[in-house]
Structure 1
Amino acid sequence: MKFAIISDLHANLAAFKQVLQDAAESGAEAVVCLGDIVGYGPLPEETLLLARKTLFLAVSGNHDDAVSGRLDASSFIDLAYEAAERHRRQLSKESLSYLKSLPHSAEIEGAVISHGDLTQPDAFNYIDSEEAAAANFACSSAQLIFVGHTHTPSIHITGNSGRVYSLAAQDFVVEEGKRYIVNPGSVGYPREEGGKCLSSYIIYDSSEKTVKFRFLPFSVSSVMQRGRVKPRAVALPIAISGALAAAAVLALFYSRGKGLPSPEGRPVAAITAEENRKVAEKTLTLAPSYKTVRANLKLKKGSPSAQVETVFLDAGGNTVETSSKKVKEKFSSAVKIPKGALSVKFKVFKTDYINAPQILVFDPTAE
């Protein structure tokens, strides 16, 4: 499965949407967040609503815990503390409950995820040195560990010798005999490097065992604010991009008004990647005389594209054959029924994580 691994959104809705779009175009099947969905930025409720609709799995970060009330934010720098208080006032009860429900660590295919280090996940210590990485390799047997929190893309690696090395962010293939701690950086609150602020995240392919970094530019660069805290404290001093710093100031005057409706459904950890992107589904029972089926899908003019999956099933509900087609306007071509198929499911999916196709007609037939 191909995962987009993101972290540290910090209520930056525009950056989040940009990364979701890029992840979809990069072939990601599910999006996993390493925490800090909120904190700092101007749009906590809107960012959380989108996160709840699109994330396959999320763990809690220190700012998420501070906003939900699970963590005392008194050790935060002033900007972070004030943002946590403001976000708590702005969020709906449903959003606050969602934040409180997030685990501090979890597992995905072939990897462990956490916001901070794994020795005590709810303490949110940083993995920002080879010594800290060594402690985490010692407390977990996982070959691949994804963490956020520092806002800096990085890799720590160890092998049979037990020595830990720090590497700059780079694409790699997971090798037998080696273990990795990988930080994707930050989506909404990146450090400035070389005069540029870049949102960053990772594409992790659990089947191919590949890890690839993605970098997307902000429209505004520069740094505005630095904080001073104790080493390994809750809030790391981070260079704020001009765009986010300006947003933090504007957020002091931002009013949520009536707010947005909370999406219904199960907790994010229980929602599959397919459910996140599925728009419609219809099933047909197939008579022995039928030879072909048609989706008969037509989209409204100007609609975002759709992906149509045709799944043939046998008497036990097992998949006999599957095909998929991207649809820009309509899809009514005949698809041959394979031997042993007694029913067929037509599933319509979004081709990205944000824009759903607008269906005008969806009337599958068999003949």
Structure 2
Amino acid sequence: MAKIAVVSDIHANLHALNAVARDMNLMGVEEVWCLGDTVNYGAFPNECCRWVRENVSIYILGNHELMLLGLASVENRYVNECLNWTKENIDATWIEYFSTKSVIYHHKDITLVHDNPLSPGSMKYILTREDAEIALLKMNSRLCFFGHTHIPIGYRLSTVGAEIIRTPNYSIDLRKHLLNPGSVGQPRDGIPLASYAIFEENTVTIRRVKYDIKSAARAIIDANLPSVMAARLLKGV
């Protein structure tokens, strides 16, 4: 099996994406899977979309692509301000690219989804052990990679229900597993470092990568995007 990088929630943060790409090269990554939300919040949607098209072999739509395509919406001032800015600045090429993609992908005994394997595209979060337990019990695949929460975490089905996995290195056994690689472009676990996963054979490793956070935040402000999105980068929330 190839050494695969699983990325999610780039959110137009080119500074973080470039740092992650360099780390992938150092780690000998051979293939990249993306769980969506390449756009919105950051100042570089076109550049990040170009990287995705050139480097990603499997792409899943996130809720921000669905909103860009007019297939979903939220009542959030800052999200919608970013979305309107993205609509004005993104190249039509990427709208066409996203329109060819799906909200879920099955690869052998592995499922890729942005939000929830039981309702892909619903924007339903997996945030608690209870959420994870329901998904683990009902999903058909042995392993599901998901994003959306921006928090790197794993869950596996055990005798106590959904067991939380927080170690950065863990093995995939015969039980069912849910794994979130965290966010490349807007981490929300209080650690302002880009996050992604490397999947090889039956092992998953979470990588945290330093990048020029201040420059990424400055680019958001210079683009007249909501300053709250810049502030979140600095704190990792």
TM-score (norm 1): 0.58
The answer to whether residue 200 in structure 2 is matched with residue 201 in structure 1 is no
3-state SS, counterpart of residue 16 of structure 1 = helix
3-state SS, counterpart of residue 199 of structure 2 = strand
The match for 1:219 among 212, 218, 221 is 212
How big is the shift at 1:100? 2.2
Give the greater-gyration-radius structure (CA). 1
* Structure 1 letter corresponding to 2:183: S
1:340-351 alignment to 2 at 5 Å? none
How big is the shift at 1:15? 1.1
Count of aligned pairs:
224
Which position in structure 1 is the counterpart of 2:40? Answer: 39
Contact 2:15-2:216 at 8 Å conserved across structures: no
Change (3 A) 1:243 1:71: farther
How big is the shift at 1:246? 3.5
* Structure 2 letter corresponding to 1:167: I
Query: How many angstroms apart in 1 are the aligned matches of 2:81 and 2:132?
Result: 31
Which position in structure 1 is the counterpart of 2:116? Answer: 117
* Structure 1 letter corresponding to 2:78: L
Higher strand share: 1
Contact 2:6-2:198 at 8 Å conserved across structures: yes
The answer to whether residue 126 in structure 2 is matched with residue 131 in structure 1 is no
The answer to whether residue 168 in structure 2 is matched with residue 170 in structure 1 is yes
The answer to whether residue 187 in structure 2 is matched with residue 190 in structure 1 is yes
TM-score (norm 2): 0.88
Contact 1:60-1:104 at 8 Å conserved across structures: yes
Contact 2:35-2:113 at 8 Å conserved across structures: yes
1:1-367 alignment to 2 at 5 Å? 1-73=2-74, 75=75, 77-108=76-107, 110-159=109-158, 161=159, 163-176=161-174, 178-191=175-188, 193=190, 196-205=191-200, 208-220=201-213, 244-252=216-224
Query: How many angstroms apart in 2 are the aligned matches of 1:135 and 1:158?
Result: 10
* Unaligned stretches of 5+ residues in structure 1: 221-241, 254-367
3-state SS, counterpart of residue 197 of structure 1 = coil
* Structure 2 letter corresponding to 1:102: K
Deviations 1:49-93 (A, max 9, x none): 1111111111011111112222124x2x32211111111121222
Query: How many angstroms apart in 2 are the aligned matches of 1:245 and 1:81?
Result: 19
Change (3 A) 1:246 1:17: same
Query: How many angstroms apart in 1 are the aligned matches of 2:189 and 2:203?
Result: 27
How big is the shift at 1:170? 2.3
How big is the shift at 1:16? 0.9
Deviations 1:137-176 (A, max 9, x none): 13312111100011111011113x3611222242111112
Contact 1:68-1:96 at 8 Å conserved across structures: yes
* Unaligned stretches of 5+ residues in structure 2: 226-237
Deviations 1:169-208 (A, max 9, x none): 42111112x2210111100111253xx4110111001xx2
Which has the higher relative contact order, 1 or 2, with Cα contacts under 8 A spaced 6 or more apart?
2
Contact 1:116-1:125 at 8 Å conserved across structures: yes
* Superposed CA RMSD: 1.8
Question: Identity over the aligned pairs, expressed in percent?
Answer: 28
